[in-house]
């Protein structure tokens, strides 16, 4: 039925595209088509899972896939349909306390206990999604929503895309807990691509950082402001498994001189001796394709900020600042990342692209701590609630990552996009790209 509405609605809207473009910042066919595609993608990610898979929670920082599916629907129901569509009828009043977020709600289930929500079932959650999806599609098709609601739909789509990548990371972490090491996608990975490490130099100076005001952005990308940069150089690709293996073989995990004090304390507490998902003998790693031989040419992934920082120091380099990354990407003419294609290998691979392409197969840690930009304000909805749930999640003691990963949905990235995680986080698709102060490196000119 979803497919029928998508096809029929898109066809009707296509006939009236010229007229509607005058009344809307984005023509309804584009918005409706994108909305339906994003909703289907989330369900495609969940499709290979059993009901048991979708309900389990591997750690407090992760959430069950069933919860992700329901929460993304709650946003559209509570923030878009209930306040802005008089025809909408709530699917189940109890769901807000289970799957909602915000200071205006009494949340009956804390984050660490989401895996205990055996009811409602996965089937009931999918029915809930279908109910909300059809209601939003109908409201869009009938032009019942004003500009405020349309803006919230855009925000909800962007947040659901963020959640899709998080779903894959949470699935991988969950399956890793199983001694059978089950594969999410039961096919072998293709060989990695070898790519020579090179350096590109960038001139500093006073540079504009942040979102330019064109199109959507999250709150923490604003306002655009000036920063002063020194000349610097960036590596042309992320660090590989083989390169990081050298760090491990050099017994760097036992050399306190390489580590920040906080990172050394975490390392001792957790007993880390290699990246998350690497086998103890360093011959294989767990992937969404199950256990696979450790490919020397693929980017190293699932590193904490502390591991990335220690490796950069060991390699005689450093991590870039987030401002250096954004400036370099802008100089190179990069505006957005290609993102993931769900049918490809679900594992990072070095891209044989221009040395100036800074959107990577892994999110790359920077040396920048998360802070609001100078003069930042928070968007609020008609009820005084902040609709950007990720602003709160990313505040506090966290580090910025840039560049996206193989799992980031297509079209979701932009130059100003900021990802932030605690320094000890390793379960997301995180790696590093090296930086150095200015030196005799080949320069990248604007354009």
127-185 tens-digit pLDDT: 999 999 999 999 999 999 999 999 999 999 999 999 999 999 999 999 999 999 999 99
Mean pLDDT of 250-271: 98
> Is the bond leading into 120 cis (omega within 30 degrees of zero)?
yes
User: Between 3.30.450.20, 1.10.40.30, 3.90.1580.10, 3.20.20.70, what CATH number should domain 199-443 receive?
Assistant: 3.90.1580.10
pLDDT at 101: 85
Could you tell me what percent of the chain has a pLDDT over 70?
A: 83
Assign 6 a pLDDT band (cuts: 50, 70, 90): very low
Distance CA 260, CA 309 (A): 8
Residue 419 exposed, middle or buried by CB count within 10 Å (0-12, 13-18, 19+): buried
pLDDT digits (tens, 9 = 90+) for 351-378: 765 545 788 799 999 999 999 999 998 7
Between residues 215 and 379, the one the model is more confident about: 215
pLDDT at 92: 96
pLDDT digits (tens, 9 = 90+) for 371-412: 999 999 876 655 555 555 555 554 568 999 999 999 999 889
Domain boundaries, the chain: 2-176, 199-443
pLDDT at 107: 82
pLDDT at 288: 97
Assign 190 a pLDDT band (cuts: 50, 70, 90): confident
pLDDT digits (tens, 9 = 90+) for 71-105: 999 999 999 999 999 999 999 999 999 999 876 67
Comparing CA positions, the residue from 439, 419, 446 lying closest to residue 234 is 439
Predicted structure pTM score: 0.89
pLDDT at 349: 86
Comparing CA positions, the residue from 332, 344, 335, 325 lying closest to residue 432 is 325
CA 259 and chain centroid, separation: 27
**Residue 300 clears pLDDT 50, i.e. is over it:** yes
Assign 47 a pLDDT band (cuts: 50, 70, 90): very high
Assign 4 a pLDDT band (cuts: 50, 70, 90): very low
**Residue 7 clears pLDDT 90, i.e. is over it:** no
pLDDT digits (tens, 9 = 90+) for 98-124: 999 876 677 888 999 999 999 999 999
- Report the chain's C-alpha Rg in angstroms: 22
- Kindly report the average pLDDT of the chain as a whole number: 88
pLDDT at 22: 29
Q: How far is CA 235 from CA 247, 273, 374, 403, in A?
A: 17, 25, 29, 13
**Residue 51 clears pLDDT 60, i.e. is over it:** yes
């Amino acid at each position: 039925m979803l497919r029928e509405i998508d096809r029929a609605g898109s066809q009707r809207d296509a006939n009236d595209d010229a007229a509607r473009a005058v009344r809307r910042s984005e023509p309804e066919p584009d918005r409706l088509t994108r909305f339906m595609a994003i909703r289907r993608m989330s369900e495609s990610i969940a499709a290979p899972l059993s009901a048991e898979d979708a309900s389990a929670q591997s750690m407090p920082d992760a959430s069950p896939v069933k919860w992700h599916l329901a929460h993304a629907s709650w946003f559209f129901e509570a923030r878009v349909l209930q306040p802005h569509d008089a025809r909408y009828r709530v699917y189940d009043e109890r769901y807000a306390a289970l799957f909602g977020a915000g200071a205006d709600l009494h949340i009956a289930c804390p984050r660490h206990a989401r895996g205990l929500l055996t009811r409602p079932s996965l089937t009931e959650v999918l029915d809930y999604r279908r109910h909300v999806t059809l209601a939003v599609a109908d409201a869009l098709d009938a032009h019942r929503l004003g500009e405020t609601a349309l803006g919230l739909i855009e925000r909800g789509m962007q947040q659901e895309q963020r959640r899709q990548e998080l779903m894959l990371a949470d699935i991988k972490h969950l399956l890793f807990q199983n001694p059978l090491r089950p594969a999410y996608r039961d096919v072998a990975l293709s060989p990695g691509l070898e790519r020579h490490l090179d350096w590109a130099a960038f001139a500093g100076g006073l540079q504009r950082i942040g979102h330019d005001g064109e199109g959507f952005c999250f709150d923490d990308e604003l306002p655009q402001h000036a920063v002063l940069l020194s000349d610097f150089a960036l590596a042309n690709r992320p660090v590989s498994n083989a390169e990081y293996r050298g760090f491990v073989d050099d017994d760097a995990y036992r050399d306190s001189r390489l580590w920040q004090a906080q990172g050394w304390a975490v390392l001792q507490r957790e007993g880390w001796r290699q990246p998350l998902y690497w086998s103890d003998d360093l011959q294989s790693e767990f992937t969404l394709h199950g256990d696979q031989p450790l490919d020397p040419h693929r980017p190293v992934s699932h590193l904490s900020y502390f591991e990335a920082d220690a490796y950069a120091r060991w390699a005689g380099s450093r991590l870039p600042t987030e401002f250096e990354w954004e400036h370099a990407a802008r100089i190179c003419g990069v505006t957005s990342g290609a993102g993931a294609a769900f049918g490809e290998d679900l594992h990072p691979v070095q891209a044989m692209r221009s040395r100036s392409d800074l959107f990577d197969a892994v999110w790359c840690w920077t040396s920048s701590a998360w802070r609001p930009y100078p003069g930042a304000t928070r968007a609020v909805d008609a009820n005084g609630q902040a609709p950007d749930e990720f602003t709160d999640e990313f505040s506090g003691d966290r580090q910025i990552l840039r560049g996206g990963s193989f799992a980031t949905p297509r079209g979701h990235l932009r130059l100003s996009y900021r990802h932030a995680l605690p320094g000890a986080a390793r379960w997301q698709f995180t790696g590093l790209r090296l930086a150095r102060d200015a030196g005799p490196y080949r320069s990248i000119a604007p354009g």
